[in-house]
């Protein structure tokens, strides 16, 4: 079993042909994403990390990312060893490999996380907060500025045009000029109270033809229950909506078949 995730357009063009050949030659079965499992694994992941800090020291950033404020631990613990303990427990309890970056800010921690993923020498944990400056500068010279958290495509191009292509070059740039050009974003503290969600959606297409009303009722009830569970106990909802989009299953299969035939004809011509 494997998961394919393609981010770069050039890689997509090459990989799609390779994937198609592999699928055809090996009779590979392609399955849709199982978001229920992802959500459960995410819950367990964040729950394990919550055991290492106080509630106000954890910020759940995304389904697979989390910030921990370890300021109160640094005088009594070796933070690299402490974080290695987190990695080992997560691997042992739920089988997820993780990388950890330690920094003086969220941005530096994110860069450290990127380096921990790429560099085997870090063994999954990269501590930029206490790293010798000359070594830190060396590693920063290897990281493209586009990897910095918050630097999008436009900012990346603008920085490249200025001759700033690495994290090291960015760190040595003039702060007032950078702040004026990019408006400046203050260092963000740990946010243990994220803003309430304005909308919650639980949706998924059926993988098989549904012919029984009871099956449809059960599926809709499950989705409604999932949406309810996503609500925090401190949240309320004004409105709830169920939407069913219908297309004849046989017609959909026929349409997909016709598209495949047309694709083959184009290849032959």
Residue 186, pLDDT above cutoff 60: no
- Residues 131-163 as b/e (b if ≥16 CB within 10 A, e otherwise) read beeeebeebbeebebbebeebeeeebeebeeee
89 or 231, greater pLDDT: 89
156 falls within a domain: yes
**C-alpha span between 136 and 127 (Å, rounded):** 9
CATH number at residue 90: 3.30.70.270
| C-beta of residue 39 within 8 angstroms of C-beta of residue 62 | no
Percent of the chain with pLDDT over 90: 26
- Of 122-131, 194-203, 247-256, least confident by mean pLDDT is 247-256
User: Is the pLDDT reported for residue 159 higher than 80?
Assistant: yes
pLDDT value of position 148: 84
Is the per-residue pLDDT at 196 higher than 70? no
Q: What is the mean pLDDT of residues 71-76?
A: 89
Tell whether 116 is covered by a domain.
Answer: yes
pLDDT digits (tens, 9 = 90+) for 52-61: 999 889 999 8
Is there a domain that residue 254 lies in? no
Residue 12 belongs to some domain of the structure = no
Give residue 145's pLDDT. 87
CA angle 10, 12, 15 (to 5 degrees): 110
Judge whether 6 lies within some domain: no
Q: Tell whether 175 is covered by a domain.
A: yes
Q: From CA 101, how far away is CA 195, in angstroms rounded? A: 25
The pTM (predicted TM-score) of the whole model is 0.60
pLDDT tens-place string over residues 120-143: 889 999 999 999 989 989 988 888
Domain count, the chain: 1
**Could you tell me which of 94, 86, 82, 1 has the C-alpha nearest to residue 42?**
94
One-character DSSP codes across 92-119: HHH-----EEE-SSHHHHHHHHHHHHH-
pLDDT(251) > 60: no
For residue 124, the enclosing domain spans 36-180
How do strand 65-68 and strand 125-127 relate by DSSP bridges? unpaired
The verdict on residue 138 lying in a domain is yes
What b/e readout covers 108-128, taking b as 16+ CB neighbours within 10 angstroms?
bbbbbbbbbbeeeebebbbbb
Per-residue pLDDT, 218: 78
**110 Cβ contact partners less than 8 Å away, ≥ 6 residues apart:** 101, 103, 148, 149
Report strand pairing: 125-127 vs 100-102.
parallel
Convert the pLDDT of each residue in 30-70 to its tens digit: 666 777 888 899 999 999 999 999 988 999 988 999 999 99
Query: Is 168 part of any domain?
Result: yes
Chain-wide mean pLDDT for the chain? 77
């Amino acid at each position: 079993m494997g998961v394919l995730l393609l981010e770069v357009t050039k890689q997509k063009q090459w990989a799609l042909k390779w994937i198609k050949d592999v699928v055809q030659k090996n009779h590979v079965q392609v399955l849709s994403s199982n978001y229920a499992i992802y959500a459960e694994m995410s819950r367990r992941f964040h729950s394990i990390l919550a055991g290492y800090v106080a509630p106000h020291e954890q910020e759940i950033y995304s389904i697979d990312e989390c910030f921990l404020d370890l300021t109160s631990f640094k005088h009594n613990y070796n933070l690299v060893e402490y974080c290695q303990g987190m990695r080992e427990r997560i691997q042992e309890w739920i089988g997820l490999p993780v990388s950890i970056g330690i920094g003086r800010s969220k941005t530096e921690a994110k860069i450290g996380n990127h380096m921990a993923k790429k560099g085997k020498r870090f063994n999954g944990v990269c501590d930029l907060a206490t790293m010798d400056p000359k070594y830190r500068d060396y590693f920063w010279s290897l990281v493209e500025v586009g990897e910095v958290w918050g630097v999008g495509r436009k900012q990346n191009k603008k920085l490249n045009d200025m001759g700033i292509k690495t994290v090291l070059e960015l760190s040595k740039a003039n702060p007032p000029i950078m702040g004026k050009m990019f408006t400046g974003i203050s260092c963000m503290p740990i946010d243990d109270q994220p803003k309430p969600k304005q909308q919650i959606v639980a949706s998924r297409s059926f993988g098989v033809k549904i012919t029984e009303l009871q099956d449809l009722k059960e599926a809709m009830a499950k989705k409604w229950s999932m949406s309810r569970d996503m609500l925090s106990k401190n949240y309320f909802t004004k409105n709830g909506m169920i939407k069913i989009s219908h297309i004849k299953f046989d017609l959909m299969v026929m349409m997909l078949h016709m598209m495949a035939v047309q694709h083959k004809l184009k290849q032959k011509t």
